[in-house]
Structure 1
Amino acid sequence: MQQNELYPTLVNESSISKYLDTSSISSTSTIFIRLCNDIEYIVGSACSKIMIEECKNLVLIVNDKVVTSIIEVWKSENITLKLNTQVQTVQVDQCENVHIQYESIKNFYSVVWTNTKTLELKLLEDGEEKHVLSTGDIPNEKTNSPNDNKSDKPQDNCPFQYIIRLIDDQLTSEELIRAEKGFPTTQREWNDYKNNNP
């Protein structure tokens, strides 16, 4: 490979469709896609992680294993992720119009997002849409604590960051807060913890 095998960077590419396989990436490499426009990437072999920064009109299709099970997208617009493999966490920061589609519910765990206008998540089952959630369905306001008692509320240093998960067979977006020692959790989980550990 001509690029750093551990960190292949795709920069300033546009108006192409590109297939990434073992000839261009290795299973230990992190794919970094930056400043690319009007482009489609198809990941056809395993990689360690995928990062997308400052891209527009990008389609990413992931057909093979992402070892860390993480994809990060930031400062990007009109991004479509089609995930045909397990990606436990997709993190989306400072983006506009992000569409994430999981081919199978079993491949999904969470999407963490902040400062993003229009994020749509679809989970498919047998090729049909089973669950759909758009940030347009969620008020973009900080969640009020049901108990404003300072001793019961964890320290919150990360306002307006949310996590989407499948809870009771429903896609649910909850605000992430910081509990003791900065541990990320939700108000619901924090309240459950406090109730079970008086």
Structure 2
Amino acid sequence: MQQNELDQSIPTLVGNLLRQRKFFVNESSISKCLDASSISSTSTIFLRLCNDIEYIVGSACSKIMIEECKNLVLIVNDKIVTSIIEVWKSENITLKLNTQVQTVQVDQCENVHIQYESIKNFYSVVWNNTKILELKLLEDGEEKHALSTGDIPNEKTNPPNGDKSDKSQDNCPFQYIIRLIDDQLISEELIRAEKGFPTTQREWNDHKNNNP
């Protein structure tokens, strides 16, 4: 493709991406079901500035994004194609996930409650700068694992190369990842290893030990 053709195609691509977003803005005090009549499997659901509200996702979508919402309950009953939910700058958010969501990302929030109805649907929660995040994993309706970030001290680690003089991370929020490790929910700080690859100190140490 020539440069002029590429330049002409970019607005079209951006327009297509925007059209695939389904915006729900400034809604409140209702319970709304998002089904095949309002979304499609290519839709990115964008909930913004919504308060005191419940959304039930009953049809497949591409991704779910929640921004600046308060007192919101999201129930997901069908497939998310990218397996990603993002929540930021929000307060009192409850996610009830009845389908596989491999990554929930939570940034700059307060009081976020995430519940997976099945352990097999869970992979990770990535979070930073959030006051109280509670995660529960259920199986057959019973709670099997639970973790609250309010019980975890925030410990800052050094860069993986051990250079304490490296201040490259100082201006960035510290980010953490929660996973099920050895049958326990564990929250670990994410660090940047070689070439900026995201990992944890534990995994980086294992890598160095296995690749001397």
Please report the TM-score for the alignment, with normalisation by the length of structure 1.
0.89
Check whether the contact 1:5–1:26 (CA below 8 A) recurs between aligned residues: no
Q: For 1:25-76, what per-residue CA distance to the aligned partner results, in whole angstroms no more than 9, with x for missing partners?
A: 0000100000000000000000000000000000000000000000000000
Matched, 1:54 2:57: no
Query: Cα distance 1:179–1:187, how it changes in 2: closer, same or farther (>3 A)?
Result: same
Query: Cα distance 1:180–1:148, how it changes in 2: closer, same or farther (>3 A)?
Result: closer
Give structure 2 stretches of 5+ with no counterpart.
15-25
Q: Using the alignment, how far apart are the partners of 2:2 and 2:27 within structure 1?
A: 16
Q: CA deviation at 1:141?
A: 2.7
Q: What's the counterpart of residue 20 of structure 2?
A: none
SS in 1 for 2:111: strand
Q: Using the alignment, how far apart are the partners of 1:2 and 1:152 within structure 2?
A: 42
63-72 or 132-141, larger mean C-alpha shift: 132-141
Give structure 1 stretches of 5+ with no counterpart.
none
1:181 to 191, 195, 198: 195
Check whether the contact 2:159–2:166 (CA below 8 A) recurs between aligned residues: no
Q: Using the alignment, how far apart are the partners of 1:78 and 1:91 within structure 2?
A: 15
SS in 2 for 1:150: coil
**Aligned residues: CA RMSD:** 6.0
The total of aligned residue pairs comes to: 197
Q: What's the counterpart of residue 21 of structure 1?
A: 35
Q: Percent identity?
A: 93
Q: CA deviation at 1:142?
A: 1.2
Check whether the contact 1:154–1:180 (CA below 8 A) recurs between aligned residues: no
Structure with the higher fraction of residues in helix conformation: 2
SS in 2 for 1:5: helix
Q: Using the alignment, how far apart are the partners of 2:111 and 2:2 within structure 1?
A: 33
Q: Using the alignment, how far apart are the partners of 1:5 and 1:61 within structure 2?
A: 43
Larger radius of gyration: 2
Check whether the contact 2:90–2:110 (CA below 8 A) recurs between aligned residues: yes
Q: Using the alignment, how far apart are the partners of 2:3 and 2:103 within structure 1?
A: 26
SS in 1 for 2:165: helix
